[in-house]
């Protein structure tokens, strides 16, 4: 689930039960990416909408804990102020990195941020045949080869002004990969020790 400032990964569909009700209600109004071509995405989108209409029979959103203040009075209701406290949703702690196509530098044309799907799109030209690589999570870029990272580092990502915040997240990841020599095949534990020493 992509948010403006990050992505939440859920291991199992029932982990959506740990989301607050307002989050699940909002998901009902959004279209799932690739629901037209991916049967699993289409099924889950239908499930969310059916559950919303039926009052969340199977997917039961997290209910908040009501905390009553002992001293503060709500100026509108003239009663003790109530604060709703939610637990953090059950999300994956480590980002699952996707296997990325490697060594596309010789075919690279440009890359841009797709404001409709909120993905970075890398455009390639393989002998007159145009291809695209769609990147949903900026962290997936750490799985590119060293040459591919250098190619993306040299070329600024194109984006609409209203998408600047999210688009520049992709370019920041590329800049960090270039600066710390992070790429496909690097031993992450060794690299972490090296970065911590700096």
pLDDT band at 73 (very low <50, low <70, confident <90, very high): confident
Do 102 and 145 contact (CB within 8 A), yes or no?
A: yes
What is the reported pLDDT for 155? 93
E strand intervals along the chain = 2-3, 6-7, 65-73, 80-85, 108-114, 119-126, 129-135
What is the arithmetic mean of pLDDT over 82-92?
A: 89
Domain regions of the chain by residue span: 1-94, 105-197
Would you say residue 19 has pLDDT above 80?
yes
What is the reported pLDDT for 157? 94
Residue 189 burial (CB count, 10 A): 8
Would you say residue 159 has pLDDT above 70?
yes
Would you say residue 70 has pLDDT above 80?
yes
Angle, helices 188-197 vs 164-180, to 10°: value is 90
Q: Mind listing the pLDDT tens digit for each residue in 89-141?
A: 899 888 888 888 888 999 999 999 999 889 999 999 988 899 999 999 999 99
What is the reported pLDDT for 185? 80
Among the listed residues 177, 168, 36, 165, the one whose alpha carbon sits nearest the alpha carbon of residue 100:
177
């Amino acid at each position: 689930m992509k948010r403006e400032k990050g992505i939440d990964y859920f291991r199992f569909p029932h982990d959506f039960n740990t989301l607050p009700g307002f989050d699940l209600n909002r998901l009902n109004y959004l279209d799932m990416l690739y629901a037209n071509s991916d049967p699993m995405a289409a099924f889950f989108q239908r499930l969310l909408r059916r559950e919303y209409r039926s009052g969340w029979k199977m997917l039961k959103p997290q209910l908040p804990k009501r905390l009553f203040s002992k001293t503060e009075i709500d100026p509108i209701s003239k009663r003790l102020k109530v604060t709703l406290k939610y637990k953090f949703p059950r999300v994956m702690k480590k980002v699952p990195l996707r296997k990325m196509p490697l060594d596309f530098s010789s075919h690279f044309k440009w890359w841009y941020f797709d404001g409709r799907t909120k993905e970075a799109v890398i455009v390639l030209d393989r002998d007159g045949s145009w291809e695209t690589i769609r990147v949903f999570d900026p962290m997936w870029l750490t799985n590119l080869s060293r040459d591919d990272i250098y190619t993306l580092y040299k070329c600024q990502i194109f984006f609409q002004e209203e998408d600047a915040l999210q688009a520049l997240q992709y370019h920041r990841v590329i800049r960090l990969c270039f600066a710390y020599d992070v790429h496909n095949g690097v031993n992450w534990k060794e690299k972490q020790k090296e970065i911590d020493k700096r």
